[in-house]
């Protein structure tokens, strides 16, 4: 299909009455600001016309490092409709990181927060970027000033399904950031399939409280709502109390596990509060089974956990309704990431490249219309990450059980090989988390003169609990094979996490690197 611009597909799903509310944005003072569907269409048209006026080459990168706002979402839509490539950047990135991304991606336009214009524009102009605009959270900045002079009518630029729509830099929890190139076809196929698999309803209302520089908030959440013509209640930042207060007006919530943990910490969370909700989705990082169970007990809702990544968008999901492919199975099972999504191939292979049987742990490999076109300007790296028969190696280690459910047990880079034996961090962490007084834990591998590598456990105690690292190790010795038992155990206040709630194991590994040298 020549006209495969993702924006056209989203636009086609807007309700007939464009004056209806598309986004209710909750301002910092708690007041609501309402954006209609017409506002999204016209606001993004103005920005698309501004981009068109710059006469950029087709497929130019538009790098965006701004705080979350509805206008920032419009800029994403404007980039799609003008046929350019959206490049969202985490607002936490500092100058060394921005220098890397700008040098690597060579954007034609950079949009940054007004307060960052000084240093960002310096980097950008030195690297030959032609245009630097600002966009503030309070609807200020040169981007909006300039866009205001442009027409609010814009003809969507035709794109083919394999034309690039976005580049998402992986956050680099396992190494240097790589730009995953996602096409209009990748994004649309995934969004259209999730609309069906998650059973989006005509009266759904999404609470959007995730950042929009990442696959979860930008693609899964925004595409989900727009492709269903569903309004969003939009929070620039996640505040448990404010978000929970709106459960009564919404039906769908998407979060990373830490958001659920924070809501559970509020004693007011109960069945009544969540009665109007239809679906709670979790992903981006593994959800502890305790969190899954506690949510069910407190709210009556079974969280739907799904699994995906920047390179592929969504891959597997627990069922939302009975899945005919798996004997009409409808159970959402905690600790698993569910079934392969329709149209997505997910398989488990051993290091020798051979398929593994149900229950055997190996490398998760995937294939489908959602799988990215490769890493930006890294053809060798891209080639390395695909198997000979064209499947993408996710770098995740896991298994599929006899009923078809997938479980992730870790990432291949986090796998610890101790004295020749494989230690899967997720397995050991699950045992540690079950011990009295433990809230959560992380197991990392560090160099060891005899074993090559050994596990070091880092443990966060429950509030008020006294936990002794030595005692933890002793209890593990009675439950686990010796090669799996960590050699040291440290008790800390919290684990280092990135903004998506992922534990940054690289930082922990660096910290304990010299333990045995």
Ligand X SMILES: Nc1ncnc2c1ncn2[C@@H]1O[C@H](COP(=O)(O)OP(=O)(O)OP(=O)(O)O)[C@@H](O)[C@H]1O
Binding site for ligand X (CB under 6 A): 170-174, 283-286, 305, 307-310, 337, 394, 396, 408, 411, 502
Give the count of beta carbons closer than 10 Å to the beta carbon of residue 502. 19
Buried b / exposed e across 350-361, counting CB within 10 Å, b at 16+?
eeeeeebeeeeb
Find the shortest distance in angstroms from Cβ 173 to ligand X. 4
In whole angstroms, give the CA distance from residue 159 to residue 8. Answer: 10
Burial degree of 17 (CB within 10 A; 0-12, 13-18, 19+): exposed
Find the shortest distance in angstroms from Cβ 170 to ligand X. 3
Find the shortest distance in angstroms from Cβ 25 to ligand X. 25
Residue nearer to ligand X on the CB measure, 135 or 180: 180
Which residues on neighbouring strands pair with residue 407, listed in sequence order?
A: 399
Contact 420, 450 (CB under 8 A): no
Residue reference for tokens 């209890």: 475
Find the shortest distance in angstroms from Cβ 331 to ligand X. 16
Residue nearer to ligand X on the CB measure, 230 or 317: 317
Residue nearer to ligand X on the CB measure, 49 or 317: 317
Find the shortest distance in angstroms from Cβ 261 to ligand X. 14
Contact 117, 132 (CB under 8 A): yes
Find the shortest distance in angstroms from Cβ 348 to ligand X. 14
Residue nearer to ligand X on the CB measure, 98 or 489: 98
Burial degree of 192 (CB within 10 A; 0-12, 13-18, 19+): middle
Residue nearer to ligand X on the CB measure, 75 or 285: 285
Find the shortest distance in angstroms from Cβ 180 to ligand X. 8
Phi and psi dihedrals of 27, rounded to 5? -75, 165
Residue 170 DSSP label: -
Find the shortest distance in angstroms from Cβ 396 to ligand X. 5
Give the count of beta carbons closer than 10 Å to the beta carbon of residue 517. 8
Residue 215 DSSP label: I
Residue nearer to ligand X on the CB measure, 307 or 431: 307
Contact 356, 311 (CB under 8 A): no
Residue nearer to ligand X on the CB measure, 247 or 372: 372
Contact 45, 152 (CB under 8 A): yes
Residue nearer to ligand X on the CB measure, 146 or 413: 413
Find the shortest distance in angstroms from Cβ 385 to ligand X. 11
Give the count of beta carbons closer than 10 Å to the beta carbon of residue 6. 28
Residue nearer to ligand X on the CB measure, 49 or 318: 318
The encoded tokens of residue 254 equal 């998407």
Vertex 490, ends 487 and 495: CA angle to 5°? Answer: 120
- Chain-centroid distance of CA 84 in Å reads 22
């Amino acid at each position: 299909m020549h006209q495969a611009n993702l924006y056209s597909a989203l636009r086609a799903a807007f309700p007939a009455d464009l004056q209806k509310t598309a986004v209710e944005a909750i301002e910092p003072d708690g007041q609501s600001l309402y954006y209609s569907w017409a506002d999204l269409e016209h606001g993004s048209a103005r920005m698309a016309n501004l981009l068109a006026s710059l006469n950029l080459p087709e497929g130019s990168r538009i790098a965006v490092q701004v705080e979350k706002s509805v206008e920032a979402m419009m800029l994403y839509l404007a980039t799609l409709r003008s046929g350019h490539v959206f490049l969202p950047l985490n607002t936490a990135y500092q100058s060394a990181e921005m220098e890397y991304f700008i040098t690597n991606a060579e954007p034609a336009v950079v949009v940054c927060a007004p307060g960052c214009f000084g240093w960002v524009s310096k980097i950008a102009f030195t690297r030959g970027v032609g245009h630097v605009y600002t966009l503030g959270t309070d609807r200020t900045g040169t981007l909006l000033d300039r866009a205001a002079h442009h027409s609010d009518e814009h003809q969507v630029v035709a794109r083919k399904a394999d034309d690039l729509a976005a580049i998402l830099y992986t956050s680099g929890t396992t190494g240097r950031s790589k730009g995953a190139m996602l096409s209009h076809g990748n994004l649309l196929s995934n969004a259209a399939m999730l609309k069906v698999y998650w059973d989006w309803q005509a009266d759904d209302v999404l609470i959007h409280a995730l950042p929009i520089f990442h696959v979860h908030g930008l693609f899964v959440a925004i595409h989900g709502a727009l492709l269903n013509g569903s309004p969003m209640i939009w929070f620039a930042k996640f505040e448990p109390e404010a978000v929970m207060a709106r459960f009564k007006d919404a039906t769908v919530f998407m979060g990373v596990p830490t958001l659920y943990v924070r809501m559970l910490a509020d004693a007011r969370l109960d069945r009544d509060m969540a009665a109007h909700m239809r679906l709670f989705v979790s992903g981006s990082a593994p959800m502890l089974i305790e969190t899954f169970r506690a949510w069910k007990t407190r709210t009556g809702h079974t969280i739907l956990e799904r699994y995906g990544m920047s390179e592929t968008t969504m891959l597997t999901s627990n069922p939302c309704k009975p899945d005919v492919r798996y004997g009409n199975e409808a159970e959402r099972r905690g600790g698993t990431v569910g079934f392969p999504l329709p149209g997505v191939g997910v398989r488990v292979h051993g290091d020798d490249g051979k398929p593994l049987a149900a229950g055997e742990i190996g490398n998760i490999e995937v294939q489908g219309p959602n799988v990215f076109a490769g890493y930006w300007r890294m053809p060798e790296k891209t080639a390395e990450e695909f198997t000979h028969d064209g499947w993408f190696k996710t770098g995740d280690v896991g298994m599929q059980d006899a009923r078809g459910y997938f479980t992730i047990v870790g990432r291949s880079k986090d796998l610890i090989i101790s004295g020749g034996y494989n230690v899967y961090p997720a397995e050991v962490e699950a045992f540690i988390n079950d011990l009295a007084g433990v809230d959560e834990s992380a197991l990392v591998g560090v160099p060891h003169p005899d074993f090559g590598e050994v596990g070091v456990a880092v443990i966060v105690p429950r509030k008020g609990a006294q936990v002794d690292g030595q005692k933890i190790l002793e209890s593990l010795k009675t439950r686990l094979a010796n090669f799996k038992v960590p050699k040291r155990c440290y008790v800390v206040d919290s684990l280092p996490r990135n903004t998506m709630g992922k534990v940054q194991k690289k930082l922990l590994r660096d910290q304990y690197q010299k333990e045995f040298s």
